[in-house]
Amino acid sequence: MRSKCDDFKFASRCQESCGLCGVAECEGGRVFERIDGQWVCVLKVEEPEPRTTTLEGPMTTQPEEYMFPDENGEDKDYEYFRIKDEPTPKPKPRELGMASTLIRDPQITATSFTPGFEPATARPFSVGGWVPANADMRPYLQIDLRIAISVHGFGTLGGYNVDCWTTGYHVQYSTDGVNFEYLVDTSKDMVDGSHPPRYFVGNNGRNVWKRHCVHKYYGEPIDMKVIRFYPVTDSQNNRIAVSPRNEQNGCVAMRVELYGFRDANDPQLIRAMKRDVWTVKPRGCTCYFDTERTDCACCAAGGCQCSEISQHQCVQCGYGTNCGVPELPHWLFLLDGWTTARQNCQCRYDPTLFTCACCNEKRNGVQCPLKEHSNQCVQPGAEAIQCGEKENIFGPNKVCVPKTCPVA
């Protein structure tokens, strides 16, 4: 005989009404769904109408043609995008700003999303990831770069805290934010002689990168102002346009990074350099590569200017491979290049206390030795010079005594 529980999909309602489910409530915003006679936790069972954002340009549907994956030239993509620790004849493309937050949240939009998995969570370091609404059969994630940039490639991850990813997707791009076209598969022809959209191989798990090098496929990077990622197949290789989505049957989630080179005078990059931990200001100091010029970055203690390709940026001396990617305090959880927090770490001047600054261990920051400056870390070996500086961050210099000139 049919149980009243069969009429309910949410465990709490089922337990409240007849107490026959005998299963604890799901966690993490998931709900129960009856599959093959059993109640199981799924990401979503019922969806409201897709929640949409205002996008520039018309919405474009995915083509109905489904092409088998084209993996030609993909084997060495990871090696191409890997940033090496020593100079190379050709600099590797840099992250364009999803991880560093140089690309701001309003620049990341989508046709829909599941609450808690908004477009802005499509960043690589996110503990979530963008998940479109189940009712959205042709979703896309859009990133607006504000100006056209030569994009060398892109990479994707699945969701971080949800068992969903995208095994394949199409990509559209626009140079003006209005007119869009697909990145096509030039090895295949359609009936009308045109090329179909390239099916980019996606992820086979949540946290393993899959990157694609655009200029290896098309002979050169492609200028893009706006880029759209259209999921085609979910974590179980189902076509998302015809398959219900949940963690058991297959679902979609994406985290994304773009790669390329921003122009040194990119307005968004210049604005970000005003917050960079190694850059005091993006202009106004003598350029090391041309001492007759004074339009290069001014560096904080321990910082060195980048080359002309990133002339408005400073990085920690010896870390030239970081040029091109701003190090922003709110992203790295830093106060400056050497200090992560003003207190809560063991004191150098009194090891029995844990009320002093915490140092950036990745950059070998060292705590100032005097109690008066114990809320600050500095460059190793430069304590006598740097401790007490940056009063705008660490407060007034309590050791420095203003000089008084003798009266003639």
Are 282 and 304 in the same domain? yes
260, 289, 310: which is the final residue of a domain? 260
216, 244, 260: which is the final residue of a domain? 260
Are 170 and 307 in the same domain? no
Are 8 and 154 in the same domain? no
For residue 25, the model assigns a pLDDT of: 47
Within 10 Å of residue 80's Cβ, how many Cβ atoms? 17
Are 226 and 278 in the same domain? no
DSSP codes, 117-134: --GGGGSTT-SS-B---T
* Residue 183 reports pLDDT greater than 90: yes
DSSP codes, 259-278: EE---TT-HHHHHHHTS-TT
* Residue 187 reports pLDDT greater than 70: yes
For residue 12, the model assigns a pLDDT of: 37
Are 235 and 353 in the same domain? no
- Segment 341-356 mean pLDDT: 93
* Residue 306 reports pLDDT greater than 80: yes
Mean pLDDT estimate for the chain: 79
Residue 194: inside a domain: yes
* Domain membership of residue 373 as a residue range: 339-393
Are 110 and 241 in the same domain? yes
- 404 membership: H or E segment, kind and range: none
Rg (CA), the chain: 26
Are 109 and 243 in the same domain? yes
Are 158 and 288 in the same domain? no
Are 370 and 308 in the same domain? no
CATH number, domain at 149? 2.60.120.260
Residue 72: inside a domain: no
Residue 398: inside a domain: no
* Residue 198 reports pLDDT greater than 80: yes
Would you say the pTM of this structure is higher than 0.75? no
State the total domains in the chain: 4
Residue 119: inside a domain: yes
Are 253 and 105 in the same domain? yes
Residue at 191: amino acid letter: V
Residue 400: inside a domain: no
Residue 54 token pair: 């205002």
User: Residue 31: CA atoms inside 13 Å, Cβ hemisphere, count?
Assistant: 13
Are 225 and 272 in the same domain? no
Are 281 and 243 in the same domain? no
